[in-house]
Each structure stands twice: as structure tokens, then as C-alpha cells.
């Protein structure tokens, strides 16, 4: 990436308050690890790859970041000041250094740009971001002098009892003058409530003005320390994502009950009905109608797709596909354009050709189905013999009568016709009629002769 301002993201904390085996910054938010939001915002604001301080031996975070950042290790989590001190000499820039906490995923790139611009507007030792959140618990408070310059930051646990608590909170986002920052880190001491090297203490050690920029949207300063804050951030992000969809021309019937991951794309004039969840890499075209109560995960859909209250995962839907209610479309399924699934249909690991209809209560598993096929209600492809899975192959324009049982491996040739209620365990030639059922027998006059019911 380009040679923009130097940036460091702190992501080596233990995240004790999450009470989790997973590193805090890897907890998913809107479907992706929360650290990635911070990395994206910083890269977009600075135009260059940041340095990320990770915990010693944290291969999961290192693997996640790949080459989008340069990872450096903090030996032991001894506080935010110590984390920044872990940046080795060759990576210590003497110009402006942007420092951001890895647990603040709601920061907008524009806010970081505003902070960088403010810092550049006059000679300063530091410019820091602050906000006034509705719930400031756990946050450091910013103490200013009468002229508005920042004097120091006091952590909540270190607030002197009985004194007025400042309303302004430290967002954990700073631009430092590198020439002053790096030497000052060596002067930090641990005489505080948590016995840690606080980065916040650096502010009082700098010479020259320390100024503050107030973020207008207090949601941006939300740091994720515990799972209540994770849920609060999720709600904010969800609202942002759903708002963006609506502004891009999608009707969202009930934004409050619509759960959409950050990376989801939906084309204009689509309608999302209430209580619908769109997850992961789901991408839908224009004019679709989804829900109510649909769950789509990693679904690629064309234009004009209609999905009722159904669950779909890792599948592709061509233009105009119609999935009725209570269906399940499972991974590795491709439904070509115009395919219709009735109610309670299940399709897995299958390709289904254009214009094919799979009626209610049918189960199509491990199958390749041609175009313009009609699969009658209650048809099942028996894919499993107890040891292995086998495929069912159905040609074009095949008619499968209601309640048929197709025992794989089996092939139904183009244009063949399967009588309703058939049990089919042998291939059917193209154009043939297959009747895999016992013949009907009528017993004349039986009703009159049967024993009377009491």
C-alpha cells in the first residue's frame, strides 16, 4: 500500500472480560472478526498497511491478517502502553503516528481522517479522540484545563473518590508526534489500580499541546470488553448495514428484526420481510423477495428470486428461482433460473436445471436434475446405502410421479415418465414409462360382503 501516515493497532490484550477461549479481537461481529473492521478503517484512512500488536504466539490473529498488516508481538499483556512499546525500532516512525485499539470496530474511516487532519493543522504533541457515550462505564475520562487543552486521562478505576467525574471519555484513538511518543513510553510506570503500563499516562508526559477531537456519533467509541458490549456493537452495526441497504433501494419491512451481516449485498427494489437473516457472503440480485423468517447463509442469488420462510445455505439460485415455505436448501446446490421448490422441499449437493419444479415434501439429495423436469410431491432420492452416498441423475423433461422412490445410483433418461408411487432402482431409458409398483386389484362387490361394523 501507499506511504500514508504510520498506524499501530493494539490487539494483544487477553480480553479477560469476554471469558472466552477465543482471543477477544477474533469474536465475530456482523459475521467477521471484529479486528478486521478496525484494520479496514485504518487502512482506508491512512492508505497504508498498519502495524498490529498481537499477543505472543497468537497465530490465529496473524493468520487472519495475512499481508494486510505487519504483525509484531507483545511478550506479556502488561497494558496498552507496554503494547505500543513492543513496536520495534525499525517500525517506529518519528512523524505522526496513529494509534487505535483493536477492540473498537465501530470507528469510521472519516473520523480517523478528521483526527489526522486536526493533528496536522497546528504543532501538537498529540491529538486524541473522545466521545460522550450513553454508558461510559470502564472508560478513561479526559481532564482538560480551562482553555480546553487536554491535561491527562484518568482511568475509571483510578478516579479520585468524591470528585466530579468528567463526561468526556477517551476513545483509545490517538495521533502522536512520533519523536516524542517513543521515548515517553519508556517513562511509564505501573503505579495504578491495575498495575499496568497505561498508554493513557503518556498524555501527561508529553511537552506541547494535547488537543481533543469530539466524535459526534458516540457509538463510534464503543470498545468491546465484554459480551454485553459485543451485543451492543452488533446492534449498531446491524442498523448501519440495514440503513445502507435501504438507502441503496432495498425495502426492509422491519429493520428491527432483520439481521444482515456486513458483507451482504442485495439488489435494488428487493423486499426483505420481517424476521429474516442474511448471513456471510450472501449476494442477491434486483427485485428479489425474501422472507418473512428466511435464513440465508452464503447464498448467491440472481434477479427476481423469491424465498419464503426457508433455510438456505451455500447455494446458488438463478434468476426467478422460487423457494416456497419451510424448505431447506443445503450446501453445494445450484438451482438454475426459474426452478421452483414447493413447500417442505429439501435439496442438497445437487444441480437442478432451468424451469424444473420440485414439489412439496420432496427430498432431492446428491442429484443432477435436468431442465423442465417435474418432480411430484413426496418424491425421495435415496442417496445412502448405509456405507456410501450415491447420485441420482435425471435427464431433461422427465416427469416423476408423486411419491416416487428413486434408489441411487440410478439414471432416468431424457423425457422418461415415472408412474406415481413407483419404486425405481434400475435405470430408465429415454422416453420410457417406468412403473415400479404392484398392480391395482379390484375385488368386485367386496363392500356388500364385508362384516358389518358395530
Q: Which stretch binds Mg ion (CB under 5 A): 80-88, 186-194, 217-225, 260-268?
A: 217-225
What is the distance between the alpha carbons of residues 317 and 337, in angstroms, rounded to a whole number?
7
Q: How far is CA 372 from CA 250, 275, 380, in A?
A: 31, 33, 18
Among 225, 277, 309, 402, binds Mg ion (CB under 5 A): 225
Q: 102 vs 285, which CB is nearer to ligand UD1?
A: 102
Query: Is position 74 an interface residue for ligand UD1 (rule: CB under 6 A)?
Result: yes
What is the distance between the alpha carbons of residues 113 and 422, in angstroms, rounded to a whole number?
69
Query: Is position 139 an interface residue for ligand UD1 (rule: CB under 6 A)?
Result: yes
Asked if 130 and 66 count as a contact pair (C-beta separation under 8 A), the reply is no
Among 50, 102, 267, 353, binds ligand UD1 (CB under 6 A): 102
The contacts of residue 275 (CB under 8 Å, 6+ apart) are 254, 257, 258, 291, 292, 293
Query: Is position 159 an interface residue for ligand UD1 (rule: CB under 6 A)?
Result: no
Q: 221 vs 278, which CB is nearer to ligand UD1?
A: 221
Pattern of binders to Mg ion over 358-377, x per CB under 5 A? --------------------
| Ramachandran category for residue 228: left, alpha or beta (phi over 0 → left; psi -120 to 50 → alpha) | alpha
**Annotation marks residue 360 as catalytic:** yes
Query: Is position 220 an interface residue for Mg ion (rule: CB under 5 A)?
Result: no
Query: Is position 229 an interface residue for Mg ion (rule: CB under 5 A)?
Result: no
Minimum CB separation of residue 193 from Mg ion in Å reads: 15
Query: How many residues of this chain bind ligand UD1 (CB under 6 A)?
Result: 30
Q: Which stretch binds ligand UD1 (CB under 6 A): 80-88, 91-99, 174-182, 227-235?
A: 80-88
- Distance between start and end Cα atoms, the chain: 89
Q: What is the CB neighbour count within 10 angstroms for residue 249?
A: 12
What is the distance between the alpha carbons of residues 349 and 331, in angstroms, rounded to a whole number?
6
Q: Which stretch binds Mg ion (CB under 5 A): 97-105, 187-195, 289-297, 404-412?
A: 97-105
Cell of 24: 477477544
Query: Is position 71 an interface residue for ligand UD1 (rule: CB under 6 A)?
Result: no
Query: How many residues of this chain bind Mg ion (CB under 5 A)?
Result: 3
The contacts of residue 331 (CB under 8 Å, 6+ apart) are 313, 314, 315, 348, 349
Q: If we measure between CA atoms, which residue out of 197, 221, 216 comes closest to residue 38?
A: 221
Minimum CB separation of residue 206 from ligand UD1 in Å reads: 15
131 binds, among Mg ion, ligand UD1, none (CB under 5 to 8 A by kind): none
The contacts of residue 272 (CB under 8 Å, 6+ apart) are 245, 250, 251, 252, 253, 258, 260, 266, 278, 290, 291
139 binds, among ligand UD1, Mg ion, none (CB under 5 to 8 A by kind): ligand UD1
Query: Is position 106 an interface residue for ligand UD1 (rule: CB under 6 A)?
Result: no
Question: Among residue numbers 283 through 322, which ones bind Mg ion (CB under 5 A)?
Answer: none
Asked if 345 and 365 count as a contact pair (C-beta separation under 8 A), the reply is no
Q: Which stretch binds ligand UD1 (CB under 6 A): 113-121, 197-205, 230-238, 343-351?
A: 197-205
Q: 215 vs 327, which CB is nearer to ligand UD1?
A: 215
Question: Among residue numbers 219 through 258, which ones bind ligand UD1 (CB under 6 A)?
Answer: 223, 225
Residue nearest to ligand UD1 (CB): 140
What is the distance between the alpha carbons of residues 280 and 299, in angstroms, rounded to a whole number?
8
Q: Which stretch binds Mg ion (CB under 5 A): 215-223, 231-239, 241-249, 317-325?
A: 215-223
Among 78, 150, 233, 307, binds ligand UD1 (CB under 6 A): 78
Q: If we measure between CA atoms, which residue out of 405, 359, 360, 408 comes closest to residue 383?
A: 408
| Burial track 377-412 (b if 16+ CB lie within 10 A, e otherwise) | bbbbbbbeeeeeebbbbbbbbbbbbbbbbbbbbbbb
What is the distance between the alpha carbons of residues 173 and 129, in angstroms, rounded to a whole number?
5
Rule CB under 6 A: which residues touch ligand UD1? 10-13, 53, 74, 77-80, 82-83, 101-104, 138-140, 153, 155, 169-172, 198-200, 223, 225
Which residues are near Mg ion by CB under 5 A?
103, 223, 225
Active site residues: 360
Amino acid at each position: 500500500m501507499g506511504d500514508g501516515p504510520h498506524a499501530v493497532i493494539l490487539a494483544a490484550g487477553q480480553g479477560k472480560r469476554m471469558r472466552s477461549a477465543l482471543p477477544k479481537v477474533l469474536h465475530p461481529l456482523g459475521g467477521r472478526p471484529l479486528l478486521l473492521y478496525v484494520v479496514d478503517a485504518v487502512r482506508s484512512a491512512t492508505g497504508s498497511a498498519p502495524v498490529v500488536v498481537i499477543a505472543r504466539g497468537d497465530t490465529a490473529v496473524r493468520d487472519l491478517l495475512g499481508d494486510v498488516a505487519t504483525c509484531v508481538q507483545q511478550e506479556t499483556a502488561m497494558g496498552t502502553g507496554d503494547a505500543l512499546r513492543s513496536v520495534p525500532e525499525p517500525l517506529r516512525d518519528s512523524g505522526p503516528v496513529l494509534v487505535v485499539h483493536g477492540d473498537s470496530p465501530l470507528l469510521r474511516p472519516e473520523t480517523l481522517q478528521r483526527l489526522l487532519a486536526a493533528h496536522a493543522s497546528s504543532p501538537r504533541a498529540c491529538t486524541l479522540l473522545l466521545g460522550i457515550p450513553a454508558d461510559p462505564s470502564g472508560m478513561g475520562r479526559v481532564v482538560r484545563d480551562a482553555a480546553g487543552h487536554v491535561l491527562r486521562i484518568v482511568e475509571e478505576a483510578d478516579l479520585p473518590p468524591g470528585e466530579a467525574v468528567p463526561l468526556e471519555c477517551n476513545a483509545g484513538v490517538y495521533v502522536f508526534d512520533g519523536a516524542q511518543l517513543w521515548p515517553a513510553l519508556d517513562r511509564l510506570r505501573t503505579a495504578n489500580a491495575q498495575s499496568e503500563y497505561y498508554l493513557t499516562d503518556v498524555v501527561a508526559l508529553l511537552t506541547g499541546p494535547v488537543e481533543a477531537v469530539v466524535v459526534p456519533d458516540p457509538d463510534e467509541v464503543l470498545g468491546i470488553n465484554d459480551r454485553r458490549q459485543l451485543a451492543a456493537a452488533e446492534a449498531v452495526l446491524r442498523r448501519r448495514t440495514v440503513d445502507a441497504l435501504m438507502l441503496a433501494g432495498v425495502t426492509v419491512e422491519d429493520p428491527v428484526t432483520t439481521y444482515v451481516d456486513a458483507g451482504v449485498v442485495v439488489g435494488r427494489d428487493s423486499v426483505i420481510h420481517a424476521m429474516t437473516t442474511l448471513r456471510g457472503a450472501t449476494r442477491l440480485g434486483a427485485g428479489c423477495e425474501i422472507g418473512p423468517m428466511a435464513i440465508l447463509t452464503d447464498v448467491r442469488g440472481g434477479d427476481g428470486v423469491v424465498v419464503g420462510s426457508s433455510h438456505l445455505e451455500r447455494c446458488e439460485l438463478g434468476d426467478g428461482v422460487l423457494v416456497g415455505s419451510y424448505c431447506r436448501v443445503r450446501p453445494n446446490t445450484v438451482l438454475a433460473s426459474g426452478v421452483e421448490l414447493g413447500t417442505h422441499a429439501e435439496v442438497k449437493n445437487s444441480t437442478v436445471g432451468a424451469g424444473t419444479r420440485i414439489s412439496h415434501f420432496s427430498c432431492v439429495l446428491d442429484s443432477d436434475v435436468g431442465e423442465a423436469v417435474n418432480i411430484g410431491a413426496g418424491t425421495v432420492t435415496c442417496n445412502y446405502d448405509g456405507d456410501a452416498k450415491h447420485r441420482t441423475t435425471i435427464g431433461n423433461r422427465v416427469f416423476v410421479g408423486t411419491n416416487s422412490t428413486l434408489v441411487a445410483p440410478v439414471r432416468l433418461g431424457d423425457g422418461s415418465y415415472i408412474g406415481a408411487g413407483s419404486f425405481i432402482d434400475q435405470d430408465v431409458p429415454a422416453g420410457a414409462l417406468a412403473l415400479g409398483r404392484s398392480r391395482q386389484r379390484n375385488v368386485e362387490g367386496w363392500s356388500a360382503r364385508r362384516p358389518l361394523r358395530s
